[in-house]
Amino acid sequence: MSKGSFWRAAGLNYLEYSNLAARYLRRALKEAPQAKALKREEHNLRVSLYENGKATPAKFLKNTQQ
């Protein structure tokens, strides 16, 4: 096993590993910078379904997390 592939041995791909590392780093920060950094972890989605070739009104899904 090479030096950098410990995340593969844990069953993760690189994207999953880097997301986990970023999440734990944000939570280790002091309170003021942590609040600002945790906002970057949130995702807002807008979903619009198509029926008969036309889009239905969009629905917003806020504060989704991975």
Each residue of 5-44: pLDDT tens digit?
A: 787 888 889 999 988 898 888 889 999 888 888 877 777 7
Are 44 and 61 in contact by the 8 Å Cβ rule? The answer is yes
Give the C-alpha distances (Å, rounded to integers) separating 42 from 17, 26, 62: 18, 12, 8
pLDDT-derived band of residue 4, with 50, 70 and 90 as boundaries? low
Per-residue pLDDT reduced to its tens digit, 48-59: 889 999 988 888
SS3 55: strand
pLDDT for the residue numbered 65: 55
pLDDT-derived band of residue 64, with 50, 70 and 90 as boundaries? low
Are 38 and 30 in contact by the 8 Å Cβ rule? The answer is no
Pairing of strands 54-55, 50-51: antiparallel
